[in-house]
Structure 1
Amino acid sequence: MSVAGTARIALVTGGCRRVGAGIAAELARNGWALALHGHRDAVPEPGLAATLADIGTIWHGFVADLALPEAPGELMAQVVAHFGRAPDLLVNNASLFSYDDLGSMTPQMLSDHFAVNTFAPVLLARDLVEASSEGAQPAVVQIIDQRVRNPNGDQLSYTLSKQALAESIRTLARAFGARARVNGVAPGLTLATTDYDDAQMERLAARMPLGRLSAPQDIARAVRHLADAPAITGQLLFVDGGAHMLSLERDFVFLDKQDEA
């Protein structure tokens, strides 16, 4: 019998930190057992760890370098072996995000980004379907990026790999048919890094059609909705404050850095 009992199981790649942790916490609060993947470790950040402990969530951590060709298959096999059955939900959240542009892009940068951001999610989805019992119909949610709708020239390898992943949604949905549902969520700027200051974040939020940026909880709720929507497949949901409707000349990090008046 599965160690998860009757609870549904979700595999969240990159699920221990930042947006991935927000997705994992939302699923935990709604009764899911969790397989949490990390690149170098699978230790949940403090807020997520507290949520898992408070709820008593059944969970286990798995470490895998998704840049390696064999890693997706090995990760799925480990999850199935630990829980005793295939996950009901796969959230492909893990990403490689490094800067390049037309002048600095190299074959290696392209290869590195496509390995993590495109190949691994597609292979994990395929492996999930193959590991699932007949009639199970698991759900796959690909985490994309709003920039795929109106791209600019920044983070070129990253953007191309996310555009390919976005196109995989409809293609995999057709290929899997009734065997699995495949959808995507495209966040905008969600969690600031040290490259941003508070004033810049406020100015960027004011640019958005909704006058706000996306928050981790917004992304997490969208993922949960798609996980629980049996009639939806092949769809990409933008959760970005409306950023995908804008044609921004640069990546967010380069915009609105002027001093405040």
Structure 2
Amino acid sequence: MTINFKIPYLLTKAFAKVYGKGNIINFVDTKVEKNKTVHLDYILSKKLLKDFTKISAVELAPNIRVNGIGPGLILPPPGKDESYLWDLAKNIPLKTIGNLEEILKAVQFILDSQFFTGQILYIDGGEHLV
């Protein structure tokens, strides 16, 4: 809860107080669209962050835009390699894995899109759909 929700919450409040204008991008998880998990605390904290992203987009507008990115199969977890991701990719619509360049493109899109706030961009090959 501390890492995935409390710290982004406190940073958002501090950013708004100190800067008063700009962009905040939170990193949620593509799995926030599901309710089945073996990692209850993790997914709950990410679901909180997703909703906080939307609420803070309303509260901090028009001076601060708040959005989120939900990455999918981008980096393998510690102790696993890319073959682990490719095995998981068999179960998602696009049947492939992403990379950091895709995340950077999403960040740039958010920064460039002045009429965009309170949204979560799922960079996950459609994983959040299944």
- Post-superposition offset of 1:147: 0.5
Q: Which residue of 2 aligns with 1:163?
A: 47
- Post-superposition offset of 1:129: 1.3
Question: Which of 103, 106, 111 is 1:222 aligned to?
Answer: 106
Q: Does 1:121 align with 2:5?
A: no
Q: Evaluate the alpha carbon distance shift between residue 161 and residue 177 of structure 1 in structure 2; reply closer, same or farther with a 3 A threshold.
A: same
Asked which structure has the greater CA Rg, the reply is 1
Q: Evaluate the alpha carbon distance shift between residue 231 and residue 154 of structure 1 in structure 2; reply closer, same or farther with a 3 A threshold.
A: same
Structure with the higher helix share, 1 or 2: 2
Unaligned 5+ segments in structure 2 are: none
Q: Evaluate the alpha carbon distance shift between residue 115 and residue 211 of structure 1 in structure 2; reply closer, same or farther with a 3 A threshold.
A: same
Task: Give me the whole-angstrom Cα distance separating, in 2, the residues matched to 1:188 and 1:170.
Answer: 20
SS in 2 for 1:122: helix
Query: RMSD of the alignment, in Å?
Result: 1.6
- Post-superposition offset of 1:234: 0.6
Task: Give me the whole-angstrom Cα distance separating, in 2, the residues matched to 1:197 and 1:151.
Answer: 27
Q: Which residue of 1 aligns with 2:31?
A: 147
Please list every run of at least 4 consecutive aligned residues from structure 1 whose deviation after the TM superposition is greater than 2 angstroms: 193-203
Q: Which amino acid aligns with 2:118?
A: G
Contact 2:73 2:89 in 1 (8 A): no
Q: Does 1:173 align with 2:61?
A: no
Q: Evaluate the alpha carbon distance shift between residue 200 and residue 119 of structure 1 in structure 2; reply closer, same or farther with a 3 A threshold.
A: closer
TM-score of the superposed pair, with normalisation by structure 1:
0.47
Task: Give me the whole-angstrom Cα distance separating, in 2, the residues matched to 1:151 and 1:219.
Answer: 24
Q: Does 1:212 align with 2:106?
A: no
Task: Give me the whole-angstrom Cα distance separating, in 2, the residues matched to 1:187 and 1:199.
Answer: 18
**1:182-261 alignment runs, 5 A limit:** 182-246=66-130
Q: Which amino acid aligns with 1:223?
A: V
- Post-superposition offset of 1:221: 1.3
Unaligned 5+ segments in structure 1 are: 1-113, 247-261
- Post-superposition offset of 1:198: 4.7
Deviations 1:111-155 (A, max 9, x none): xxx11111111111111111125xxx3000000000000132211
Percent identity reads: 29
Deviations 1:68-127 (A, max 9, x none): xxxxxxxxxxxxxxxxxxxxxxxxxxxxxxxxxxxxxxxxxxxxxx11111111111111
Task: Give me the whole-angstrom Cα distance separating, in 2, the residues matched to 1:169 and 1:198.
Answer: 30
**1:15-26 alignment runs, 5 A limit:** none
Deviations 1:214-244 (A, max 9, x none): 2111112101211221110111111001111
Deviations 1:142-192 (A, max 9, x none): 000000001322111111000000001110011112120000000012111
